[in-house]
Copies of this chain bind each other. A is one copy, B any other.
Amino acid sequence: MRYRATIAYDGTAYHGFQRQSNASSVQATLESALALVSGDASSITGSGRTDAGVHASGQVVAFDLDWKHKTSALRSALNVNLPSDIRVLEIGEADASFHPRFDARSRTYQYRVYTAPVADPLRRMYTWHLPHSLNVAAMQEAAEHLIGTYDFSSFGSPPQGDNATRTVILARWDRADDEIHFTIRANAFLYRMVRRIVGTLVIVGRGRMTANTFRDILAACDPNRSGPTAPPHGLTLTVVSFK
Q: Which positions in A face B, CB cutoff 8 Å? A: 8-10, 55, 57, 75, 79, 84-89, 117-122, 124, 126, 236
Contacts and interface: CB of A to CB of B under 8 A. Distances in A.
A79 B120 CA distance: 12
A124 B75 CA distance: 18
A122 B118 contact: no
Contacts of A57: 120, 122
Contacts of A8: 118, 120-122
Contact of A236 (B79, B85, B122, B236): B122
Contacts of A85: 121, 124
Nearest to A119: B87
* Secondary structure dominating the interface of A: mixed
Nearest to A176: B177
Contacts of A88: 118
Given A10-B122, A57-B122, 19 more contacts: A8-B118, A8-B120, A8-B122, A9-B121, A10-B124, A55-B121, A55-B122, A57-B120, A84-B119, A84-B121, A84-B124, A85-B124, A87-B118, A87-B119, A87-B121, A88-B118, A89-B117, A122-B126, A122-B236
Nearest 7 CB-CB pairings of A with B: A10-B121, A85-B121, A87-B118, A8-B121, A87-B121, A89-B118, A84-B124
A45 to B, nearest CB: 20
A57 B116 CA distance: 14
A122 B89 CA distance: 13
Contacts of A122: 8, 10, 55, 57, 126, 236
